[in-house]
Amino acid sequence: SAAVHDGAAAHYDPRQRVAWAPQPPDLARWRERFAGLDTWVAEGEDGLAGFIAYDWDGHIDLLFTHPDQLRRGVATALYRFAEATLMAAGVMELTTAASLVAHPFFTKQGFELVEEQTVWRGEVALRRFAMRKALVAGR
């Protein structure tokens, strides 16, 4: 929630942030979403630093860093772990739907833009980017 409400404030207006991460969160919806994902958490001195969640088809569903932990390598470490794990399992391509905030990060990791998308949360539109990265053994 803090990653969306604080970390994405420069890219999404308050209405968009509330639509993206309602308060209080719908815990049943989140349990259902996480049920099909492998999730790894990074902890810092003060608690949760970030997390990544992905499926075994190579889709990175969630990658968030706590706003207090930005620019400390948390997302990069989580991403590299997930990429290595999926590559070792024989996954040949990674995909994600990156937010305006995450788009530059995934571009830096070698992802290419497939298409810009608009998703709706109720009556609120959110921009995101469908992205992909081909995995090559030994990289």
**Digits of tens for pLDDT over the chain (139 positions)?**
544 445 555 666 677 766 756 678 788 988 998 999 999 999 988 888 999 999 999 999 999 888 887 788 899 999 999 999 999 999 999 999 999 989 999 999 999 999 999 989 878 888 999 999 999 865 4
Which residues, in sequence order, are CB contacts of 14 under 8 Å at separation 6+? Answer: none
Indicate the burial class of 108 (C-beta count within 10 angstroms; 0-12, 13-18, 19 or more): exposed
DSSP state of 23: S
- C-alpha distances (whole Å) from 106 to each of 13, 24, 35, 98 are 22, 29, 24, 7
Tell me the DSSP string of 24-77: S--HHHHHHHHHTSEEEEEEETTEEEEEEEE-TTSEEEEEEE-GGGTTTTHHHH
Q: So what's the pLDDT on residue 32?
A: 92
Pairing state of beta strands 93-99 and 124-134? antiparallel
Q: pTM surpassing 0.85?
A: no
pLDDT of residue 5: 46
What is the structure's pLDDT at 55? Answer: 97
